């Protein structure tokens, strides 16, 4: 086995184990975009007879104004491609405090509803979530990629709250270290064997010259020449 083959095997082993380790590591962050599929408001909160300004907002994020939503008891449907879409982005780590609001020209903005928006709210098969607030609004959200997010979050929770066994990722990492160490030991042993063989060949070659000189001295060939 050549040293190049050993090094190639070591590199492939490290890359394979590292990729498996990352896929099994529960701390990896995944994200998915949430869009608004439809909404119908049942009332407005302004006393003045003016068109309302309705917007969606999550804590720590930007306000997303819904420019088309102006009338009550009208179902507004969207394609998810509008310039103001998506509404927000969810990760597999935690929920977001979000809500629908109406701008108030005099006082603080009025609240249609506030709630915790989580990946687990979106259901199979197409990743829809319907939020209904009595006498306020009816909205349908869409997030197909939230389905694997919810599954990943649940799996990570089970690993965190599970038994006392060693996590799979740790076992894989230890196995990788053992494999790499074994390959390094084999490579070092092979290089040491090559060095010793080279020294033995050199010593044998020098010994042949010394033996030849001794034979010449015994036969007196050196003086004749």
Q: Look at residue 190 in the predicted model and tell me its pLDDT.
A: 81
Give Dmax over CA atoms of the chain in angstroms. 131
pLDDT band for 67, please (50, 70, 90 cuts): very high
Q: Look at residue 209 in the predicted model and tell me its pLDDT.
A: 67
pLDDT band for 139, please (50, 70, 90 cuts): very high
Q: What is the pLDDT of residues 78-135, one digit of tens each?
A: 999 999 999 999 987 789 999 999 998 888 999 999 999 999 999 888 899 999 999 9
pLDDT of 218 > 80? The answer is no
Per-residue DSSP letter, 54: E
Contact of 139 with 126, CB cutoff 8 Å: no
Q: Look at residue 216 in the predicted model and tell me its pLDDT.
A: 59
Task: Please spell the DSSP secondary structure of 177-209, one letter per residue.
Answer: HHHHHHHHHHHHHHHHHHHHHHHHHHHHHHHHH
pTM of model > 0.75: no
Exposure letters 96-130 (e unless 16+ CB within 10 A, then b): bebbbbbeeeeeeebebeeeebbbebbeeeebbbe
Q: Look at residue 214 in the predicted model and tell me its pLDDT.
A: 60
Average pLDDT estimate for 147-163:
58
160-161-162 Cα angle (round to 5): 95
Report how far apart the first and last C-alpha atoms of the chain are (Å, whole number): 49
Q: What is the pLDDT of residues 13-36, one digit of tens each?
A: 655 555 555 555 545 567 899 999
Q: Look at residue 220 in the predicted model and tell me its pLDDT.
A: 60
Q: What is the pLDDT of residues 171-196, one digit of tens each?
A: 777 877 787 787 888 888 888 888 88
Query: Which residues have a Cβ under 8 Å from the Cβ of 150 and sit 6 or more positions away?
Result: 92, 118, 119, 120, 122
Cα–Cα distance measured from residue 192 to residue 182, given in angstroms and rounded to the nearest whole number: 15
- What is the pLDDT of the chain when averaged over all its residues? 79
Average pLDDT estimate for 136-154:
82
């Amino acid at each position: 086995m050549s040293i190049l083959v050993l090094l190639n095997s070591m590199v492939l082993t490290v890359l394979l184990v590292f990729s498996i380790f990352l896929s099994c590591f529960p701390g990896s962050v995944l994200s998915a975009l949430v869009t608004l599929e439809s909404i119908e408001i049942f009332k407005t909160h302004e006393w003045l007879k003016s068109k309302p300004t309705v917007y969606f907002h999550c804590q720590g994020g930007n306000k997303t104004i819904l420019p088309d939503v102006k009338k009550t008891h009208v179902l507004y449907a969207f394609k998810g491609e509008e310039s103001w879409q998506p509404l927000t982005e969810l990760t597999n780590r935690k929920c977001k405090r979000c809500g629908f609001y109406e701008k108030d020209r005099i006082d603080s903005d009025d609240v249609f509803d506030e709630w915790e928006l989580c990946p687990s709210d979106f259901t199979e098969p197409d990743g829809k979530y319907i939020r209904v607030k009595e006498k306020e609004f009816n909205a349908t959200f869409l997030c197909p990629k939230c389905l694997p997010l919810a599954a990943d979050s649940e799996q990570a929770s089970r690993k965190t709250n599970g038994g006392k066994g060693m996590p799979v990722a740790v076992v894989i990492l230890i196995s990788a270290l053992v494999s790499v160490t074994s390959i390094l030991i084999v490579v070092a042993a092979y290089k040491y064997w090559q060095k010793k063989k080279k020294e033995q060949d050199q010593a044998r070659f020098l010994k042949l010259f010394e033996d030849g000189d001794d034979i010449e001295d015994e036969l007196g060939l050196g003086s004749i020449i």
